[in-house]
Copies of this chain bind each other. A is one copy, B any other.
Amino acid sequence: MVSSSGTEPRRVTIHDVARSAGVSRQTVSRALNDKDEIDGSTKQRVLDAARELGYRPSRFARGLVRQDTTTIGLVIPDLLNPFFTEVAAAALEAARTRGWHVVVYDTADSAEEELGTLQVITSQVDAVVGYFRCSEDDLERFTRGAPVVLIGREHHTARFSSIRIDGEEGVRAAVAHLVARGHRRIGMLDHDGRAEPSIRREWFTTAAAAYGIDAGLVVGADQSADGGGAALRTLLAAHPDVTAVFTFNDIIAIGALREARRLGRSVPQDLAVIGFDGLQLGTLVEPPLSSVALDTRKLGALAIDQVGRLLTGIDPLGADGLVVRAELRPGGSA
- Give chain A's interface residues, CB within 8 Å of chain B: 1-2, 4, 11, 51, 54-64, 67, 69, 71, 78-80, 85-86, 88-89, 92-93, 96, 99, 101-106, 108, 113, 120, 122-125, 144-146, 225, 254-255, 258, 261-262, 280-281, 283-286, 313-314
Contact = CB atoms under 8 A, between A and B. Distances in A.
A145 B104 contact: no
Nearest to A257: B286
Nearest to A92: B106
B313 A54 contact: no
Contact of A284 (B2, B63, B225): B225
Given A258-B286, A280-B80, A286-B258, A89 B61 contact: no
A225 B282 CA distance: 12
Contacts of A103: 71, 101-104
21 contacts: A1-B313, A2-B313, A4-B313, A11-B67, A51-B145, A56-B145, A57-B123, A59-B123, A60-B60, A60-B64, A63-B63, A78-B89, A79-B85, A79-B88, A79-B92, A96-B106, A99-B120, A102-B104, A258-B285, A261-B286, A281-B284
Contacts of A56: 122, 144-146
A104 B90 CA distance: 12
B54 A64 contact: no
Contacts of A58: 64
A165 to B, nearest CB: 20
A102 B225 CA distance: 29
Contacts of A89: 78-80, 106
A2 B316 CA distance: 12
A88 B81 CA distance: 12
Given A60-B60, A64-B61, A101 B79 contact: no
A85 B80 contact: yes
A46 to B, nearest CB: 14
Given A254-B284, A314-B4, A96 B85 contact: no
Given A1-B313, A54-B145, A258-B286, 13 more contacts: A56-B144, A58-B64, A59-B63, A60-B61, A61-B64, A62-B123, A71-B103, A96-B106, A96-B108, A101-B124, A102-B103, A102-B104, A281-B284
Contacts of A113: 96
B124 A108 contact: no
A286 to B, nearest CB: 5
The winner among A102, A261, A284 for most chain B CB atoms within 10 A is: A284
A123 to B, nearest CB: 6
A129 to B, nearest CB: 13
A28 B105 CA distance: 29
Contacts of A108: 93, 96
Contacts of A60: 59-61, 63-64
